Amino acid sequence: MKIVITGVTSVIGRAAATHLLGAGHRVTGVTQRPHPQLDPAVDLVCAGIDAPALQDAVADADAVIHLAPVTDTSALLRVADAAARAGARLLFVSHAGDPERYGRAEDLVSSSWGPTLVIRCAALVGRRPDPLVHRTVATLRAAGADAAIPVLHTDDLCRFLVRSVGSHRTGTVDLAAPEPIPAPSARRWLGPVAVRRAPVWPVAAPVLDVTAVQRDWDFDCGWTAAEALADTGRALAAVPTEPLPRTRPGADGHAAASCAGEFDDAIDPRYAVFDAHGVTDALPGPLTPMSLDVQCGGLRAAQRATGEVLGLRGKLAEEWQRRGTAVFGHRVFTGRTVSDAVAATVGRRGHRLTMLPRTLAVARRHGRWCADYAAGREQRLAQWTSAPNAVLDTRILVLRDRIQQGWALAAVGATIEAVALGCVGAEHLLPPESAAITSTRQPADGTAGPTPGAPQRPSWPLRVAEAAGRSRGLAWGTAVFYTDELREALREKGVRLVARRTLADAEDICYLTLAEAVAPPVDARLRVARRRAERERLLALNMPQVIDDRWWPLPDPVPEAPAEPRRDRAPEPAGVLQRVSSMWRDRPAFGT
């Protein structure tokens, strides 16, 4: 089905687009301007809602989801008219807000001459740093002691949107967690988190009846109100993370080879050299789609976090975030050109003078972030074999985000160490696969000290580096713990998909992406068969160790000789990756 989303670049819009793409739909987004974190698979139409391009985008759509904010009803009227003319079903998500404004909007949608569905949502909460979530937190803190407020997790909203586009139901449906939560309990679950100042909702506790969504739609929320607020509080107290989409050929580069895999990255000619030396020991390829989705997403999250600490800007920052590590032939390569460019940038005296105070400011909070992150290990998210399907799906999404958060925290810790010791260079601008570790081996308790052999400096740099080393070791050990948890959850999900005859074998879930596993497309078996055959093809290829703009398989396997260290420069970042291999030897990537 073709789904058109207005407001697709909002936090909720990006998440909904990812879920719908995973379910096998074609997604077109209508928005004023592009967003770097929007999945490139979305066919983006940069135009206002009042532009003629809206009618063209909706012309052959099966459904239109209106997620743009309702500032006035004229824009909604144009969307409803375009959907009706195209014969597309209009789904209007009505948030908690001004009852008069949203009441008029709901009446307008319901009176449209095309098929419509009004989804009346409770106040939204969740892990994403969305303005709607901030308003809900502000409302809960300002509510009276006797107030009971219904809430809805953004994960459940996205899951319901996937369910609703596959249905032909019309009318109005209320969507909220099963029970409203008292305001004092909500404040306790949220904890002392700091959020940006936001206005409160005019009506904090709208009257919602969720029996219809459970009875008629057979839909259950995966989050109770208390669990949703606990998840929100944990996310707001830590480094916010959002899965970064992978690059695709044609988005901002070109395919590197005619025999490239489905999940291979594009190459920007300005940053065209990639190196695999040392990488295959830690992440042997070709990796399965699930490994590429989860772990490479973690690498991108870590690259984004380190880029912010280092103060990277412009195209260099974008390239570092997206392709500091890249995938070719379903194998991981490190970006040599972009690593050299980053090293040259942070090596400038002026940049170093501005980078140091920013890094120290992050260092003051890094230990608390890592401690809060590791605190989640004390209690399992669910008992996977007995968890309801809705709970299993939402916890899989949480585990993906927590793994990526661990990559980011560990990478930030390694960057703090490097800056504090005054050794920021190519060897310390670590790719996220190895940014979590600079010592030769992680102790069993997940802690680590500063890099052996670090030069003696005044006491304060050493104290900062040692604290960052302990924190990043804690974060990395927790990320490994969540990786094991996700593996168990996916195994249980695979068993259930086999029972539903969606998959032929439980291990086939390794050939789906995480979004596809949560909401399997109708052609799931065909995708698995195609990707399994592609992996066998890629497994037979003898990949080059260095790629410069394009690559071709080597004719015959050649024993790899140890690379001679170059005396005119620091070791390549990929070389540090060898130190991580011991951690993954007993914990292979999903399905690899």
* CATH number of the domain where residue 179 is located: 3.40.50.720
Q: pLDDT (tens digit, 9 = 90+) per residue, 79-135?
A: 888 889 889 999 999 876 666 667 788 888 888 888 999 999 888 998 887 888 888
Q: Is residue 50 part of a domain?
A: yes
Q: Is residue 249 part of a domain?
A: no
Model confidence band, residue 18 (pLDDT cutoffs 50, 70, 90): very high
Q: What was the pLDDT predicted at 240? A: 62
Q: pLDDT (tens digit, 9 = 90+) per residue, 516-556?
A: 999 999 999 999 999 999 999 988 888 888 988 888 888 86
Do 26 and 71 fall into the same domain? Answer: yes
Do 268 and 166 fall into the same domain? Answer: no
> Domain range holding 521?
258-584
Q: What was the pLDDT predicted at 73? A: 76
Judge whether residue 572 has pLDDT over 50: no
How distant, in Å, are the alpha carbons of 139, 140, 194, 509, 520 from that of 187?
10, 7, 12, 39, 36
Q: What was the pLDDT predicted at 591? A: 43
The region of weakest confidence among 116-120, 314-318, 379-383, 557-561 is 557-561
Q: What was the pLDDT predicted at 527? A: 96
Model confidence band, residue 244 (pLDDT cutoffs 50, 70, 90): low
The region of weakest confidence among 151-155, 235-239, 452-456 is 452-456
Residue ending a domain, choose from 201, 236, 271 = 236
Distance CA 166, CA 175 (A): 17
Helices of type H across 422-562: 432-435, 459-499, 514-518, 524-539
Distance CA 185, CA 180 (A): 11
Give the residue-averaged pLDDT of 488-510.
Answer: 95
Model confidence band, residue 443 (pLDDT cutoffs 50, 70, 90): very low
The region of weakest confidence among 60-69, 171-180, 377-386, 499-508 is 377-386
Q: Is residue 250 part of a domain?
A: no
Q: Is residue 519 part of a domain?
A: yes
Q: What was the pLDDT predicted at 376? A: 78
Distance CA 531, CA 591 (A): 13
Q: What was the pLDDT predicted at 99? A: 64
Give the residue-averaged pLDDT of 317-337.
Answer: 88
Model confidence band, residue 457 (pLDDT cutoffs 50, 70, 90): very low
Model confidence band, residue 459 (pLDDT cutoffs 50, 70, 90): low
What's the structural domain count of the chain?
A: 2
Q: What was the pLDDT predicted at 437? A: 32
Q: What was the pLDDT predicted at 128? A: 83
Record the tokens describing residue 283, joined without a space: 């992440």
Judge whether residue 200 has pLDDT over 80: no
CA proximity to 305, closest of 543, 461, 479, 155: 479
Do 224 and 331 fall into the same domain? Answer: no
Check: pTM over 0.75? Answer yes or no.
yes
Distance CA 331, CA 240 (A): 28
Q: What was the pLDDT predicted at 575? A: 32
Distance CA 464, CA 362 (A): 11
Q: Are 50 and 72 in contact (CB under 8 A)?
A: no
Do 30 and 146 fall into the same domain? Answer: yes
Judge whether residue 313 has pLDDT over 80: yes
Q: Are 210 and 178 in contact (CB under 8 A)?
A: yes
Distance CA 239, CA 163 (A): 31
Do 344 and 460 fall into the same domain? Answer: yes
For 93, list phi and psi in degrees, rounded to 5.
-95, 110
Do 559 and 503 fall into the same domain? Answer: yes
Average pLDDT over the chain, rounded to whole?
80
Model confidence band, residue 220 (pLDDT cutoffs 50, 70, 90): very high
The residue type at 360? L
Q: What was the pLDDT predicted at 574? A: 32
Residue ending a domain, choose from 236, 270, 294 = 236
Do 187 and 262 fall into the same domain? Answer: no
Q: Is residue 353 part of a domain?
A: yes
Q: Is residue 422 part of a domain?
A: yes
Q: Is residue 241 part of a domain?
A: no
Model confidence band, residue 586 (pLDDT cutoffs 50, 70, 90): very low
DSSP 67-104: -S--S-HHHHHHHHHHHHHHTPEEEEEE-SS-HHHHHH
Establish whether the linkage from the previous residue to 178 is cis, with ω within 30° of 0: no
Do 143 and 191 fall into the same domain? Answer: yes
Do 351 and 270 fall into the same domain? Answer: yes
The region of weakest confidence among 246-260, 329-343, 397-411, 543-557 is 246-260
Model confidence band, residue 239 (pLDDT cutoffs 50, 70, 90): low
Residue ending a domain, choose from 179, 202, 236 = 236
Which residue's entry shows tokens 């901030």? 134
Do 55 and 165 fall into the same domain? Answer: yes
Q: pLDDT (tens digit, 9 = 90+) per residue, 156-193?
A: 999 999 999 988 889 999 999 988 888 888 888 776 66
Give the residue-averaged pLDDT of 36-58.
Answer: 84
- The one-character DSSP state at 10 is S
Q: Is residue 385 part of a domain?
A: yes
Core vs surface per residue 46-61: b (16+ CB within 10 A) or e: eeebeeeebeebbeeb
Specify the 3-state DSSP secondary structure of 116.
strand
Distance CA 506, CA 489 (A): 12
Do 171 and 262 fall into the same domain? Answer: no
Model confidence band, residue 576 (pLDDT cutoffs 50, 70, 90): very low
Beta strand spans in 222-278 (E): 254-255, 266-267, 273-275
Do 204 and 262 fall into the same domain? Answer: no
